[in-house]
Structure 1
Amino acid sequence: MRGDMYLSDTAWRGVTVRGASQGSEVNLIRWAVKPLCHMGNLNIAVLGPAGYAKDLGKKGTESDITFYNLKKGEDTVTIIEPTRYPERLAPLFYAASMADAALVVVSEITPTLGEWVLMLDEARVERGYIVLRNYLSPGDVAPLFRGTVLERYEFVEEDPIALRDLLLREAHARISVPPAAGTVGAIPIDHHFNVRGIGTVILGGVVRGGIRKHDTLKVYPGEQAITVRSIQKHDDDFDWAAEGDRVGLALKNVESDDLDRGFVLSDDPAIRTGTTIEARATLVKYWPAPLTAGTVLHLGHWMQFIPARVEAVRDDGDWRQPTLTLALEKDLVYLPGDTAVLHYLEGGKLRIAGHIELA
């Protein structure tokens, strides 16, 4: 057995994978290595009844978020369900943060549907599909979707075979190409584990640029240097990965216990970290009152979900677009120009507050 063969979301049975901050166990399914091929990938969040995605793909990694994998020839789809939602808000954010598109299954109009709409809008998931059930019509949901990204989503029939074909066609249009020389990349970690004979393996998605086998990257926060031993995408060995790819990486010079969900692997010199953020916020239209100093929010960016206390607020006359000074519980890793979603976990039926622009 080759020592550099490890798999991503459908790889391992009986391996303990640390994903959520508590170090939850992850159920990984199988071992199979296929010949190298050229592929594109669609990452899609499925928001609907629990387990809805089981009819669309094969279950892979399972923790507070569950991945399902769909593949036909060179076309691959990574399906993400927020398993521990709605009791926890973070999985909904993670699913939206990782998504290129969303599939929203509407059985009834509820506060939960409203929360899905706000999250997809604040996370800027611009593409998507809507399945209506229980005789709902587009007109029934139009008022809730108006002015959000869901206003541009496509209504589709509830047919698993047709949905799989639709997602594979979308993936086919997203073919990834090898990164050009000098390209830098960033990969937030969503799960990590140790494999006997191989070492540390992480699962994540390439959110910027690209990486190559044997690249030296830094682990943020902290800037520890590591080397990419090998790369896999949907069970296939590759020498590279590009933006939008879901990857499993075998790493040198770092232990799994030294990593956590939300850590970022990158060689991009523009990466920033900090525990104090001053940024312009935009609050959702339903937010009832100005934010005040002392309020504890949670800042969501990539695979990070960090408590952040409001230290100061300056609104210049428009309280829905204040400038906030935030003190974070731990370092935020980001690129200038990124956005981050503001969550208020004590908000009852309104737990999504808005977003900030990171400078």
Structure 2
Amino acid sequence: MSNITVAVLAPNGFSDALGKKGTTSDITFYNLKRGESTVTFIEPTRYPEKLSSLFYAISLADRVILVVDEITATFGEIVLMLQCAGKAHGHIIFRNYLTPDQIAPLIKGTVLEHYETIENDPIGLREKLLDAAAKMMAHQKVKDGAGNGAVPIDHHFNVKGVGTVILGCVTHGVIRKHDSLKVLPTAKIAQVRSIQKHEDDAESAVTGDRVGLALKGVEADDLDRGYVLTNDPAIRSSLVVMGKAQLVKYWPAPLKEEMVIYLGHWMQFLPSRLTKVTAEGDWRMPELTFACEKELVYPPGARIVLHYLEGGKLRVVGTLTLQ
């Protein structure tokens, strides 16, 4: 089985025509399946009220469907988020008589410049994405043995008769039934009792798979969104992180120490205080140090999206590449 995860950036409910509605919170999942090919659609249900909703949907995605009804500040914010998250694969659907020429100046030099313009045809779109998932099957055996894995938790709960269950997407590597996994940033260890992928039992899950894991050794109340289950020794957690930032071109002024910036990585959206700013030359490319409210979990060289929620209409600051 192979899976593609797609962020659907459109009016809420657009994905009703694409898949079967699943888990709903500040992000809503829809599932589509044909044989061994599956597609997971995610809508940022609480956006634009909650910027984190947009970040989570985009962070999880392999590719993007962007529906453009009008050119607004919200559209501009989505463009900045997609650029900072590095989401290079996507499709754009134009409605309300908008045309590609009208947004071309706004997306020039961004990842969206290479998105494919497609018709507003749900049936054709479903087939297109299922075909793309099917083509991934040829690479499945290679991925199956591709090292230790990680699953950031996006939802967790207790199921009567089963116990603790988490939902998440495999970011890299492989997770197998009976694996013992660290629960970062805690010191707990959880064992994988069973794995489900789109309601089918499985022995393992690999990069890109959407999974439900039944766990033992940990209670649902011990978990939180953003915690990471992993057997990868390279993944670390820390209250203090530092790295090289690149601010978006619209950011109006240098960042100042003591600002509260939200760090977005995987399923984490953590408030953090900027404790040190070092800018030699271009102030849009400073070295930054943050003290996080909770430990950030990340692999070496992780790319973090920076958000400033008191920035008015401009809430996406830029990126930070961790040391």
Show the counterpart of 2:68: 106
Q: CA deviation at 1:50?
A: 1.5
Count how many residue pairs are aligned between Structure 1 and Structure 2. 321
Show the counterpart of 1:170: 132
Instruction: Kindly indicate whether the alpha-carbon contact (under 8 Å) linking 1:283 and 1:353 is maintained by their aligned counterparts in 2.
Output: yes
Among 302, 313, 318, the alignment partner of 1:349 is: 313
Instruction: Kindly indicate whether the alpha-carbon contact (under 8 Å) linking 1:201 and 1:250 is maintained by their aligned counterparts in 2.
Output: yes
Task: Tell me the distance in 2 between the aligned counterparts of 1:200 and 1:98.
Answer: 22
For residues 110-147 of structure 1, the C-alpha deviation after alignment (integer angstroms, 9 at most, x for no partner) is 11111111111111111000000111111111111111
Aligned residue type for 1:282: Q
Task: Tell me the distance in 2 between the aligned counterparts of 1:123 and 1:172.
Answer: 25
Structure 2 vs 1, CA of residues 42 and 181 (structure 1 numbering), >3 Å: closer, same or farther?
A: closer
Instruction: Kindly indicate whether the alpha-carbon contact (under 8 Å) linking 2:145 and 2:173 is maintained by their aligned counterparts in 1.
Output: no
Show the counterpart of 2:296: 332
Aligned residue type for 1:345: L
Show the counterpart of 1:129: 91
Show the counterpart of 2:253: 289
Show the counterpart of 1:53: 15
Structure 2 alignment gaps of length 5 or more: none
Task: Tell me the distance in 1 between the aligned counterparts of 2:167 and 2:142.
Answer: 19
Structure 1 alignment gaps of length 5 or more: 1-38
Residue 109 of structure 1: SS of its match in structure 2? coil
Q: Which has the higher helix share?
A: 2
Among 55, 62, 67, the alignment partner of 1:93 is: 55
Determine whether 1:277 maps to 2:277: no
Residue 158 of structure 1: SS of its match in structure 2? coil
Task: Tell me the distance in 2 between the aligned counterparts of 1:137 and 1:71.
Answer: 32
For residues 197-232 of structure 1, the C-alpha deviation after alignment (integer angstroms, 9 at most, x for no partner) is 111000000001111100111000023111100001
Moved more, 271-280 or 178-187: 178-187
Instruction: Kindly indicate whether the alpha-carbon contact (under 8 Å) linking 1:284 and 1:354 is maintained by their aligned counterparts in 2.
Output: yes
Show the counterpart of 2:232: 268
What are the within-5 Å matches in structure 2 for residues 155-194 of structure 1? 155-175=117-137, 176-177=140-141, 183-194=147-158
For residues 304-359 of structure 1, the C-alpha deviation after alignment (integer angstroms, 9 at most, x for no partner) is 00001111100111100000111110000000021010000011111000010012
Task: Tell me the distance in 1 between the aligned counterparts of 2:141 and 2:268.
Answer: 27
Instruction: Kindly indicate whether the alpha-carbon contact (under 8 Å) linking 2:193 and 2:216 is maintained by their aligned counterparts in 1.
Output: yes
Moved more, 318-327 or 170-179: 170-179
Show the counterpart of 1:305: 269
Show the counterpart of 2:196: 232
Instruction: Kindly indicate whether the alpha-carbon contact (under 8 Å) linking 1:46 and 1:53 is maintained by their aligned counterparts in 2.
Output: yes
Using CA pairs under 8 Å that are at least 6 residues apart, name the structure with larger relative contact order, 1 or 2.
1
Show the counterpart of 1:323: 287
Show the counterpart of 2:77: 115
Structure 2 vs 1, CA of residues 182 and 69 (structure 1 numbering), >3 Å: closer, same or farther?
A: closer
Q: CA deviation at 1:173?
A: 2.1
Instruction: Kindly indicate whether the alpha-carbon contact (under 8 Å) linking 2:84 and 2:318 is maintained by their aligned counterparts in 1.
Output: yes
What are the within-5 Å matches in structure 2 for residues 65-80 of structure 1? 65-80=27-42
Instruction: Kindly indicate whether the alpha-carbon contact (under 8 Å) linking 1:342 and 1:354 is maintained by their aligned counterparts in 2.
Output: yes
Task: Tell me the distance in 2 between the aligned counterparts of 1:272 and 1:358.
Answer: 12
Residue 229 of structure 2: SS of its match in structure 1? strand
Structure 2 vs 1, CA of residues 104 and 250 (structure 1 numbering), >3 Å: closer, same or farther?
A: same
% of aligned pairs identical?
60
Give the TM-score of the pair, scaled to structure 1.
0.88
Structure 2 vs 1, CA of residues 162 and 273 (structure 1 numbering), >3 Å: closer, same or farther?
A: same
Show the counterpart of 1:142: 104
Instruction: Kindly indicate whether the alpha-carbon contact (under 8 Å) linking 1:275 and 1:331 is maintained by their aligned counterparts in 2.
Output: yes
Instruction: Kindly indicate whether the alpha-carbon contact (under 8 Å) linking 1:185 and 1:268 is maintained by their aligned counterparts in 2.
Output: yes
Give the TM-score of the pair, scaled to structure 2.
0.97
Residue 177 of structure 1: SS of its match in structure 2? helix
Show the counterpart of 1:200: 164
Task: Tell me the distance in 2 between the aligned counterparts of 1:247 and 1:211.
Answer: 10
Among 202, 205, 221, the alignment partner of 2:185 is: 221
Aligned residue type for 1:210: V
Q: CA deviation at 1:180?
A: 5.1
Task: Tell me the distance in 2 between the aligned counterparts of 1:104 and 1:255.
Answer: 38
Determine whether 1:43 maps to 2:9: no
Aligned residue type for 2:65: L
Aligned Cα RMSD in Å?
Answer: 1.1
Residue 161 of structure 1: SS of its match in structure 2? helix
For residues 54-90 of structure 1, the C-alpha deviation after alignment (integer angstroms, 9 at most, x for no partner) is 1111100000000000111111100000001111100
Task: Tell me the distance in 2 between the aligned counterparts of 1:320 and 1:247.
Answer: 39
